[in-house]
Amino acid sequence: MAELLPEEMEVFDLGREIEIPPSLTEGQFCFHLCIWFLTGSIPEFQELPTYNAHIRQYLDELKRKGVLQWDNPPFEAVIREDLRPVDILLSLSVGVYLIHLFDRILNSGHWVVLANEEIFDPGVNRTEIPVDKWVSLLQNRFSVRRVFPILSSARSVKDS
């Protein structure tokens, strides 16, 4: 995630810091880190997609190989007017979700994982951030573009 605004910096005081494997810290994007968080190490997928290209095909391949199972998103914003406010995350039923956000300040995408009412945000290398606190801090920055309800993954994050 890009540099946070002063009022957003409190996110670093929430949850706990998570150690990202060194192989994922260089040149990887938040999408890749979210996939790692959901699936653990997946050596048969060394060729990770570039940030903007082929992400949907990569997710489909993970699904086809049984590494990650997800339901179709309840919505996908194709145009800016279809984006949803991040406070919709507060109304999702308890579960695991891969969430594609739109950063309205930088006009770019960002990915997070919502697991049992807690956020894993790879942009700040933190997990177990209470979703209500995360939403209150970052609601002016992000909108929701897609929500993938995760049915199962190679690594269970439902109990973490």
* 158 has pLDDT over 80: no
Structural domains of the chain, count: 1
pLDDT at position 149: 92
pLDDT at residue 85 above 70?
Answer: yes
* Model confidence, pTM: 0.86
Q: Which helix (H) or strand (E) holds 112?
A: strand 108-115
Q: Domain of 124? A: 6-153
33 in a structural domain: yes
Q: Is residue 158 part of a domain?
A: no
| Average pLDDT of the chain, as a whole number | 84
pLDDT at 78: 82
Query: Would you say residue 148 lies in a domain?
Result: yes
What is the pLDDT at residue 65?
82
Residue 53, pLDDT > 80, answer no
pLDDT at 153: 72
What span, in angstroms and rounded, lies between the C-alpha atoms of 48 and 54? 9
* Residue 160 counted as domain residue: no
Among 149, 120, 151, which residue's Cα sits nearest to residue 36? 120
